[in-house]
């Protein structure tokens, strides 16, 4: 009986320790208990080469990530947190050169700038932080053939990086 009580007390102590500070969660976020809402502005695309679906897909992926991994309510305006993301570049460049001096691979790179404002804890805010992600593809393929799959992977990386920089503060 004493052993059960000790185990129960140990479990209760563990729960209190994990929840005690109120900032850490199992999703890896460090959102303070007094922060309840977030406004995620629609992503704007300022890149010279424009993928018409990229800004919307990135906006939706960001909203989904915050919805799945935080308890923040997403509001249209005046959130406790504000996230603004702009696509700055969308570039394809030759990567590997083959023995006959032609491109063996191409690289699609997307670069964004994000600004994050925490109105309740301004020390956690950042302005115009740059994020980039890329995917390589075989030069024998056209961008049109692989663009959708490449963009899905690039968006996943960008969302993870922006999420970690804002509410996980990694």
Look at residue 4 in the predicted model and tell me its pLDDT. 59
Predicted confidence pLDDT, tens digits, the chain (170 residues): 666 555 544 555 444 444 444 444 444 567 889 999 999 999 999 999 989 999 999 999 999 999 999 999 999 999 999 999 999 999 999 887 767 777 789 999 999 999 999 999 999 999 999 999 999 999 889 999 999 999 999 999 999 999 999 998 65
For 72, the token pair is: 């923040």
Look at residue 147 in the predicted model and tell me its pLDDT. 95
For residues 108 and 119, is the Cβ–Cβ distance under 8 A? no
Domain coordinates of the chain in residue numbers?
34-168
Q: Kindly state which CATH superfamily the domain 34-168 is placed in.
A: Lipoprotein like domain (3.30.160.150)
Look at residue 95 in the predicted model and tell me its pLDDT. 85
Measure Cα distances from 48 to 17, 136, 150 in Å: 50, 20, 19
For residues 166 and 68, is the Cβ–Cβ distance under 8 A? no
Measure Cα distances from 129 to 86, 87, 132, 143, 155 in Å: 10, 12, 10, 28, 16
Look at residue 168 in the predicted model and tell me its pLDDT. 85
Look at residue 21 in the predicted model and tell me its pLDDT. 43
């Amino acid at each position: 009986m004493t052993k059960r009580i000790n185990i129960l007390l140990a479990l209760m102590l563990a729960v209190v320790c994990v929840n005690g500070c109120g900032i850490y969660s199992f999703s890896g976020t460090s959102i303070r208990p007094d922060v309840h809402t977030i406004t995620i502005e629609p992503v704007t695309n300022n890149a010279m080469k424009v993928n018409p679906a990229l800004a919307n897909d990135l906006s939706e992926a960001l909203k989904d990530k915050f919805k799945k991994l935080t308890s923040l309510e997403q509001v249209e305006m005046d959130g406790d947190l504000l996230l603004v993301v702009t696509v700055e570049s969308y570039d394809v460049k030759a990567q590997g050169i083959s023995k006959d001096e032609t491109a063996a691979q191409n690289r699609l790179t997307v670069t964004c700038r994000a600004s994050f404002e925490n109105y309740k804890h301004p020390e956690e805010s950042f302005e115009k932080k740059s994020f980039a992600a890329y995917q390589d593809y075989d030069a024998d393929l056209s961008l049109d053939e692989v663009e959708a799959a490449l963009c899905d992977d690039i968006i996943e990386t960008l969302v993870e990086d922006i999420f970690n920089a804002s509410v996980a503060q990694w």
